[in-house]
Structure 1
Amino acid sequence: MSQSRRSVLQGALGAGAAGLLVGGAAPLPAARPRAAKGVELGMRWLGVAGWELTFAGRSVLFDPYLSRMPYAGADGALDPALPLRPDPEAVEHVAEKVLTGVPELILVSHGHFDHLADVPHLLSRPGWSGRRVRTLCDGTSRHLLGAMGVPASRMADVVPVTGGDHLQFDGYSVEVFRSLHSRQQDYTSFAPGTRDAVPERPRTLGDLVEGRTLAFQLSVEGGPSVLLTGTSNVAERELAGARPDVAVVGMSGHEAVHGYPDRLLAALGSPSLLLPCHHDDMVTPLGASGISGTVSSGAVAALKQAAERQARGDGTRVLAPRHLELLDVTAPAAT
Structure 2
Amino acid sequence: MRQQRRMVLKTAVAMGTSVLLGAARPEPHAAGGRRASTAGLTMRWLGVAGWELRFGETGLLFDPYLSRMPFESPDGDLDPSLPLRTAPESVERIARESLSGAPDLLLVSHGHFDHLADVPQLLARDAWAGHRIRTLCDETSHHLLAAMDAPARRLADVVRVQGGEYLQFPGYTVEVVRSLHSQFGDHGYFAPGTRTAAPAAPRTLGDLVEGRTLAYMVRFDGGPSVYLSGTSNLAERELTGLRPDVAVVGMTSYSAVHRYLERLLEVLGDPPVVLPSHHDDMVTPLARLATAAPGTVPARSPAAAALDEAAAARGAGTRVVDPVALRSFTPA
TM-score by length of structure 1 reads 0.86
* 8 Å CA contact retained: 2:58, 2:171: no
Greater C-alpha Rg: 2
1:295 shift after superposition: 9.6
Deviation at 1:103, TM superposition (A): 0.5
Select 2:307's aligned residue among 297, 300, 303.
303
Please state if 1:316 is matched with 2:318: yes
Counterpart residue identity of residue 29, structure 2 = S
Q: CA deviation at 1:329?
A: 3.8
* CA-CA distance at 1:128 after TM superposition: 1.2
Is 1:328 the counterpart of 2:330? The answer is yes
Hey, what does 2:167 align to over in structure 1?
A: 167
- Correspondences of 1:52-91 after superposition (within 5 Å): 52-91=52-91
1:24 alignment partner in structure 2: none
Structure 2 gaps, min length 5: 1-27
The alignment status of 1:222 with 2:222, answered yes or no, reads yes
Tell me which amino acid in the other structure corresponds to 1:323. A
Partner of 1:2: 29
Q: How many angstroms does 1:83 deviate by?
A: 0.3
Partner of 2:109: 109
Partner SS state of residue 260, structure 2: coil
CA distance in 2, matches of 1:264, 1:7: 18
* Residue matched to 1:255: 255
Are 1:235 and 2:235 an aligned pair? yes
Aligned partners of 2:145 and 2:298: how far apart in 1? 30
* Distance of 1:301 and 1:273 partners within structure 2: 14
**C-alpha distance in 2, partners of 1:169/1:282?**
32
Rate the CA distance shift 1:329–1:319 in 2: closer, same or farther, 3 A: closer
In the alignment, what sits opposite 1:14? none
Aligned partner letter, 1:194: T
Report the alpha carbon displacement of residue 7 of structure 1 after superposing the two structures with TM: 5.6
What is the match of residue 136 of structure 1?
136
Which whole-Å deviations, capped at 9, do the CAs of 1:173-198 have from their partners, x for residues lacking one? 00000000000122101000000111
Higher relative contact order (CA 8 A, sep 6+): 1
Number of the residue aligned with 1:19: none
- By how many angstroms is 1:293 displaced? 2.9
Q: Distance in 2 between matches of 1:191 and 1:93?
A: 29
Q: Could you tell me how far apart the structure 2 residues matched to 1:78 and 1:54 are?
A: 33
Following TM superposition, by how much is the alpha carbon of 1:276 offset from its aligned partner in structure 2, in angstroms? 0.3
Which has the larger helix fraction? 2
Query: In 2, Cα distance between the equivalents of 1:295 and 1:72?
Result: 26
Tell me the amino acid that sits aligned with residue 108 of structure 2.
Answer: V
Compute the displacement of 1:122 (Å): 0.4
Q: Which residue of 1 aligns with 2:20?
A: none
Quote the Cα distance in structure 1 between the aligned partners of 2:47 and 2:96: 17
1:93: how far off? Answer: 1.1
Q: Distance in 2 between matches of 1:121 and 1:46?
A: 15
Shift of 1:55: 1.1
Are the equivalent residues in 2 in contact too, given 1:43–1:327 (CA < 8 A)? yes
8 Å contact from structure 1 (residues 8, 329) kept in 2: no
Q: List per-residue Cα deviations over 1:202-256 (Å, max 9, x = no partner).
A: 0000000000000001000110000000000011101011010000000011111
Change (3 A) 1:74 1:166: same
Amino acid of the residue matched to residue 310 of structure 2? A
Which residue number corresponds to residue 157 of structure 2?
A: 157
| Equivalent residue, structure 1, for 2:16 | none
Per-residue deviation, 1:108: 0.3
Gaps (5+ residues) in structure 1? 11-33, 35-39, 331-335
3-state secondary structure, aligned to 1:142: helix
Name the CA distance, whole Å, in 2 between partners of 1:63 and 1:163. Answer: 17
Alignment coverage as a number of residue pairs: 300
Q: Which letter does structure 1 place at the counterpart of 2:314?
A: Q
Matched AA of 1:226: V
1:295/1:230 CA distance change after superposition, 3 Å: farther
* In structure 2, distance between residues paired with 1:299 and 1:101: 29
TM-score (normalizing by structure 2): 0.87
Q: Secondary structure at the match of 1:210?
A: coil
1:92-128, Cα deviation, whole Å (9 max, x unpaired): 1111111111111000000000000000000111111
Q: Distance in 2 between matches of 1:109 and 1:270?
A: 22
Q: Tell me how far apart the structure 1 counterparts of residues 306 and 128 of structure 2 sit (CA, whole Å).
A: 39
